Structure 1
Amino acid sequence: MTHPKVSAADLSDAGLPGLDLSDAGLPGLDLSAVVAEQPDPLLFATVSGAHLYGFPSRDSDVDLRGVHLLPVAGLIGLREPEETRTRMWDRDGVEMDLVTHDLRKFVRLMLRRNGYVLEQLTSPLVAHTSAPHAELCSHVPDVVTSRHAHHYRGFAGTQWRLFERSGELKPLLYTYRALLTGIHLMRSGEIQAHLPTLAAQVPEAPARLPELIEAKAAAEHGPATVATEDVRGEVERLHEVLDAAQAASGLRDETDALGALHDLVVRVRLQHAQG
């Protein structure tokens, strides 16, 4: 079964404004062939990583993330289902990294307070979409909880330790991005992963961010342009701001979307099986 395409207006209504890929430093990149090559239907494929976060370099790879739909036999037979597929390859001189989950697994990740999959789902850099994609997006407000702060706190901590070991600029920007995304989410309920936008929207964002983003454009794995001790206090302060934002957040503590998302998974699977 081929799901109907969803327009940019439809995506906007679902909280997912469509953007031209050239807006993210991907001019002329045709991803339709990548979608067509997949062994099972894709419900959506979006660009994640540095292009979504707003600080790609000239040699950044293209991180594609999405959801595929396994046939019923792939779930109830004796063989282990391919719930997650990963592929890395070079296409016309561009390194591509594609990861997709089967719909059931992806929805389970949504329900585990995983901010990363919500960023993939709501990425405005859409390579392929469908009606179920828009429907999944419509459930994001029901899935987001105050406990998503734990995801961003933990991810920022991992990236900060990587920055301390490597001295590279990339993990430092990932640290700032995770903390600011978490702060903004706790205050607004909105998934926003674009660091330049966050720098303008979050009052506590360090003033040095535009300079660091500009420096990252020159090299994917270049050294940081600031010393660790110069930014340690900023990062510690943002952790405090995230803690306070979580404590004051009006977001619910638990999601009540399991029933609706269960029905969505069953319905989409049955529609596909019936052809």
Structure 2
Amino acid sequence: MRQIILDEIFKIEQEHQVKVLFAVESGSRAWGFPSQDSDYDVRFVYIHRPEWYLSIDEKRDVIELPINEQLDISGWDIRKALKLFRKSNPAFLEWLVSDIQYYEAYGFKEEMIAIRDRVFSPQASVYHYLHMAKGNFREYLQGEQVKIKKYFYVLRPILACQWIQKYNTSPPILFQDLVRDLVTEPELRAAIEDLLSRKLAGEELNLEQRVDVINEFVEREIEHITEYAKSVQADLEDPTELLDELYRKYLQIVYQAADSPYVKNSDH
């Protein structure tokens, strides 16, 4: 599958006349709890030739391929990515630390990782993860019979919030890392690990009797995090000047040439 994904990335470069800076896995595979039939959620950042940006018209800054049963591939233009990075967008911060990397070039991703602490907003991240947890809990985990695999999509954002409260840093992407560090109550941990082992073994976790120890934990923590979120401060310096410099830097790095401000076609 890796080669298929790489072929798609190189095809995107050719068809859209862009250069991909990095491509990673997101979603359940990157989070550490894929099903055997989980699709591949590939996310990437790309950069156009300089003249693309020198236009009086706004242009589409997302590239998306048609989704099929195996692949969901989409990417953001570097300018969009940097704007969201400036806002401490949790999804983009997760892309940067995904353990499943398909492609990386020019050093862009590593430079973003090096400065992420300068843009990380605990407030933005807590509200993002809390909203995710509340929505999935309300939609899937009410009543006696619940969609049991949805526990992961509530537990992970709750644990991410707990991590932020404990360390004031962007949380790790792997669910297992969050559980290992934050879940200390034996009965709760056993229940979570049982569900995780079943899911990784390929069981179809659909409607089942709810797991009371997990539901009680979720309800308690959603209430706690809702109160915590009100007190989280976001006192950050404006990184716009730094990110503008990086934007110009990578336009030059990717498209530099001896006799021209850009190269129209550049092979890997």
TM-score by length of 2: 0.79
Aligned runs of 1:71-110 on 2, under 5 Å? Answer: 71-77=49-55, 80-90=58-68, 95-110=70-85
Unaligned runs of 5+ in 2: 258-268
Does 2:106 align with 1:146? no
- What is the CA deviation profile of residues 13-51 of structure 1, one whole-angstrom value per residue up to 9, with x for unaligned ones? xxxxxxxxxxxxxxx632322221113211110111111
* Rg larger in structure: 2
1:124 to 71, 95, 99: 99
- Name the counterpart of 1:217: 200
Deviation at 1:167, TM superposition (A): 3.2
- Name the counterpart of 1:163: 140
Separation (CA, whole Å) in 2 of partners of 1:187 and 1:248 = 14
Deviation at 1:154, TM superposition (A): 1.0
**Against the structure 1 CA distance between its residues 232 and 265, is the aligned structure 2 distance closer, same or farther, given a 3 Å change threshold?**
same
How many residues were matched structurally? 244
Does 2:235 align with 1:262? no
- What is the CA deviation profile of residues 209-261 of structure 1, one whole-angstrom value per residue up to 9, with x for unaligned ones? 11111232355863154417653321122224545766887x85335322211
- Name the counterpart of 1:24: none
- Name the counterpart of 2:25: 47
**Against the structure 1 CA distance between its residues 81 and 264, is the aligned structure 2 distance closer, same or farther, given a 3 Å change threshold?**
same
Separation (CA, whole Å) in 1 of partners of 2:73 and 2:199 = 23
- Name the counterpart of 2:112: 136
Q: Provide the aligned C-alpha RMSD in A.
A: 2.8
Deviation at 1:78, TM superposition (A): 5.7
**Against the structure 1 CA distance between its residues 260 and 172, is the aligned structure 2 distance closer, same or farther, given a 3 Å change threshold?**
same
SS in 2 for 1:105: helix
> Does structure 1 conserve the Cα–Cα contact (< 8 Å) formed by 2:2 and 2:102?
no
Percent of aligned positions with the same letter in both sequences? 20
Does 2:251 align with 1:272? no
2:46 to 65, 68, 73: 68
Separation (CA, whole Å) in 2 of partners of 1:196 and 1:103 = 31
- Name the counterpart of 1:197: 177
TM-score by length of 1: 0.77
- Name the counterpart of 1:29: 2
SS in 1 for 2:74: strand
> Does structure 2 conserve the Cα–Cα contact (< 8 Å) formed by 1:196 and 1:210?
no
- What is the CA deviation profile of residues 188-213 of structure 1, one whole-angstrom value per residue up to 9, with x for unaligned ones? 21431211111111145732211111
Separation (CA, whole Å) in 2 of partners of 1:156 and 1:220 = 23
Deviation at 1:97, TM superposition (A): 0.7
> Does structure 2 conserve the Cα–Cα contact (< 8 Å) formed by 1:84 and 1:99?
yes
> Does structure 2 conserve the Cα–Cα contact (< 8 Å) formed by 1:110 and 1:117?
yes
Deviation at 1:169, TM superposition (A): 2.8
SS in 2 for 1:167: strand
Aligned runs of 1:171-186 on 2, under 5 Å? Answer: 171-186=150-165
Unaligned runs of 5+ in 1: 1-27
